[in-house]
């Protein structure tokens, strides 16, 4: 009887350890998903969540510290900037801008890169050589210089940032997808489709594209943080989102001259940028491990 009781206890302990082990292994997915979904919710409902308008100026509340510091007020939980604008409200609105730019750029670049990569990898020959030389040129061209030229030519703004990041960002997708298409074009199911008379475009769309989705989803997930970081860098340099519309990068730039006295202006949006970039990287690594059979842990 005592042996049975001990066995039952051991089994329960094992189940508990296994359960917590699964949670620990998936922690790299749970926390990033929570952070990214939180950003999405904040971006969608910014109108309702922001305590103030992003451009509301109150000179009487200039450089108000966060609520937990001496002189802080519950009216401005994270303080105010040099023009008395609420930092929390501008962070919420800036999250909408940064996320919108990131998602739009990712969809544009992924679509262009996937089309070029599948075409080059499957058709091969001169088409492959031509498209890959275009990819090499795009990857070697300095993106910051292009962003500056566009900012001077058409002026800084939302569309300028999207065009600047999309103009060269597709090259990485094209190279990745081409490698997968080269591996798949000689596989048995592609050869069978070719034998029964399927056209090249049908083979690329129906047979190759579904099999490159896994690595494509991984790189798109990791690109969320990278695109937000790139947009923030452009806004920090003054060639991104123009004022008074906030973005996290422009908010960091707004507070760089007041780091010794009003550090909160730059710190909080900087933390948001870091969290989103890390979340995108961790989630991408987790997806890669789960979607790649060679890395999947059984």
Q: Which residues of 135-173 are buried (b: 16+ CB within 10 A; e: fewer)?
A: beebeeeebeebbbebbeeeebebebbbbbbbbbbbbbb
Question: What is the spatial distance between Cα 116 and Cα 272, in angstroms, rounded to a whole number?
Answer: 34
Question: What is the spatial distance between Cα 201 and Cα 146, in angstroms, rounded to a whole number?
Answer: 33
Given this model, what pLDDT does residue 244 score?
83
Instruction: State the alpha helices, DSSP H only, in 155-263.
Output: 158-184, 188-195, 200-203, 213-236, 248-254
Q: Tell me which DSSP letter residue 205 carries.
A: I
Region 139-155: what's the mean pLDDT? 80
For the chain, the structural domain boundaries read: 27-291
Q: How confident is the model at residue 23 (pLDDT cuts 50, 70, 90)?
A: low
Question: What is the spatial distance between Cα 94 and Cα 88, in angstroms, rounded to a whole number?
Answer: 10
Contact 235, 247 (CB under 8 A): yes
Question: Could you identify the residue written with the tokens 């870091």?
Answer: 274
Tens of pLDDT, residue by residue over 248-281, are 888 888 888 888 888 999 999 999 988 888 888 8
Question: What is the spatial distance between Cα 123 and Cα 110, in angstroms, rounded to a whole number?
Answer: 19
Contact 236, 252 (CB under 8 A): yes
Region 73-90: what's the mean pLDDT? 90
Tens of pLDDT, residue by residue over 278-294, are 888 888 878 777 766 55
Tens of pLDDT, residue by residue over 180-215, are 888 888 888 888 888 888 888 888 888 888 888 888
Contact 206, 121 (CB under 8 A): no
If phi > 0 it is left, if psi is from -120 to 50 it is alpha, else beta; for residue 124 that is left
Region 94-118: what's the mean pLDDT? 91
**Average pLDDT over the chain, rounded to an integer:** 83
Given this model, what pLDDT does residue 182 score?
87
With a cut of 50, say whether residue 8 has pLDDT above it. no
pLDDT higher at 44 or 289: 44
CATH class of 27-291: mainly alpha
Q: Which two tokens stand for residue 295?
A: 């890395």
With a cut of 70, say whether residue 5 has pLDDT above it. no
Q: How far apart are the first and last CA of the chain?
A: 35
Question: What is the spatial distance between Cα 156 and Cα 108, in angstroms, rounded to a whole number?
Answer: 20
Contact 181, 120 (CB under 8 A): yes
Q: Which residues pair with 80 in a beta bridge?
A: 86
Tens of pLDDT, residue by residue over 125-135, are 888 889 888 88
């Amino acid at each position: 009887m005592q042996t049975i009781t001990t066995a039952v206890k051991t089994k329960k302990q094992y189940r508990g350890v296994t359960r917590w082990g699964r949670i620990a292994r998936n922690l790299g997915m749970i926390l990033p998903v929570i952070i990214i979904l939180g950003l999405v919710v904040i971006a969608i409902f910014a109108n309702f969540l922001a305590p103030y308008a992003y451009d509301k100026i109150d000179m009487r509340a200039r450089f108000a510290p966060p609520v937990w510091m001496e002189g802080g007020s519950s009216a401005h939980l994270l303080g105010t900037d040099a023009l008395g604008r609420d930092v929390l409200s501008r962070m919420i609105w800036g999250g909408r801008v940064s996320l919108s730019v990131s998602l739009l750029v990712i969809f544009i670049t992924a679509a262009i890169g996937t089309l070029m990569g599948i075409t080059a990898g499957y058709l091969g020959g001169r088409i492959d050589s031509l498209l890959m030389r275009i990819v090499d040129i795009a990857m070697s061209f300095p993106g910051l210089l292009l962003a500056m030229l566009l900012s001077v030519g058409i002026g800084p703004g939302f569309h300028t940032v999207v065009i600047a990041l999309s103009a060269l960002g597709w090259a990485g997708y094209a190279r990745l997808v081409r490698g997968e298409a080269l591996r798949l074009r000689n596989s048995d199911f592609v050869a069978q489709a070719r034998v029964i008379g399927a056209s090249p475009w049908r083979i690329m769309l129906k047979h190759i594209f579904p099999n490159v989705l896994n690595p494509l989803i991984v790189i798109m997930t990791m690109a969320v943080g990278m695109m937000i970081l790139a947009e923030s860098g452009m806004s920090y340099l003054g060639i991104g989102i123009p004022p008074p519309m906030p973005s996290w990068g422009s908010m960091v730039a707004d507070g760089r001259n007041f780091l010794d006295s009003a550090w909160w202006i730059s710190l909080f949006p900087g933390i948001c940028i870091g969290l989103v970039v890390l979340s995108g990287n961790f989630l991408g690594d987790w997806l890669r491990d789960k979607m790649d059979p060679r890395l999947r842990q059984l």
